[in-house]
């Protein structure tokens, strides 16, 4: 089961990023730390410069992945809803009764 989850890829529209952040360690670090930083200081105060300082990289390396903080936010929200869709499909796939499937989806 762990191997299955390691190979899971949530599909995101490739127009939201310049380089897929899931293809490198730096990209994954950008995603992780941007979520934490936005949670701490809010989206309005969030900048690529602050993110760069946090991850120990320069601002330009973040621009290699995302054109703007708006595109980063679109990527993060797209990934979140893709994950929710995956969970919904996974949890209801083996339920035959449509009424039971609906109940499971709304609990």
Q: For 48-86, how does the pLDDT look when each residue is reduced to its tens digit (9 = 90+)?
A: 999 999 999 999 999 999 999 999 999 999 999 999 988
Residue 51 near residue 89 (C-beta atoms within 8 A) = no
The rounded mean pLDDT for the chain is: 90
Q: What is the pLDDT of residue 57?
A: 96
Structure confidence at residue 60 (pLDDT): 96
Of 8-12, 42-46, 85-89, 101-105, the least confident: 101-105
Domain ranges of the chain: 2-105
Burial 49-70 (b: 16+ CB within 10 A, else e): ebbbeebeeeeeebeebbeebe
The CA distance from 18 to 86, in Å, is 24
């Amino acid at each position: 089961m762990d191997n299955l989850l390691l190979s899971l890829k949530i599909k995101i529209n490739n127009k939201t990023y310049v380089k897929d952040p899931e293809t490198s360690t730096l990209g994954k670090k950008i995603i992780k730390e941007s979520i934490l930083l936005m949670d701490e200081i809010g989206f309005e105060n969030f900048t690529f410069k602050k993110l760069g300082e946090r991850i120990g990289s320069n601002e330009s390396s973040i621009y290699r992945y995302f054109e703007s903080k708006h595109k980063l936010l679109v990527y993060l929200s797209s990934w979140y809803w893709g994950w929710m869709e995956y969970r919904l499909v996974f949890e209801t796939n083996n339920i035959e009764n449509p009424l039971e499937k609906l109940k499971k989806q709304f609990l």
